[in-house]
């Protein structure tokens, strides 16, 4: 792997860490989350990222927000 590829990989890792940290802080700020274990918080972060990725995929496919929410509800 060349130097540019290594830098890109490092930047992607930093961006992923920042997204996870932001979601972790958001989840911990919710009153309902006061008694979550660290493992449960991480599980919630992973699920939120998965749903976000799925939402973006459907959005790029041209689905309306109503259609996206319906699909999310069906899951």
Q: Name, in order, each residue with C-beta under 8 angstroms of 49's C-beta and a sequence gap of 6 or more.
A: 19, 20, 23
Question: d(Cα 26, Cα 23) in Å, to the nearest integer?
Answer: 5
Structural domain boundaries in the chain? 3-74
The mean pLDDT of 14-24, rounded to a whole number, is 95
What average pLDDT is seen over the chain?
Answer: 93
By percentage, how much of the chain surpasses pLDDT 70?
A: 100
Cα 3 to chain centroid distance, Å, stands at 28
Q: Residues 30-62: pLDDT tens digits?
A: 999 889 999 999 999 999 999 999 999 999 999
Question: Where does residue 62 fall: left (phi above 0), alpha (psi -120 to 50 degrees), or beta otherwise?
Answer: left
Q: pTM of the predicted model, to two decimals?
A: 0.76
Instruction: Quote the pLDDT of residue 1.
Output: 73
Instruction: State which H helix or E strand residue 69 sits in.
Output: helix 65-74
Instruction: Determine phi and psi for 33, rounding to 5 degrees.
Output: -100, 10
């Amino acid at each position: 792997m060349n130097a540019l590829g290594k830098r890109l990989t490092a930047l992607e890792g930093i961006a992923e860490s920042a997204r996870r940290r932001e979601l972790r802080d958001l989840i911990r700020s919710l009153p309902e989350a006061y008694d979550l274990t660290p493992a449960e918080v991480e599980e919630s972060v992973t699920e939120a990222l998965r749903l976000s990725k799925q939402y973006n995929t459907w959005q790029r496919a041209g689905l309306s927000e109503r259609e996206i929410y319906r699909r999310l509800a069906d899951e």
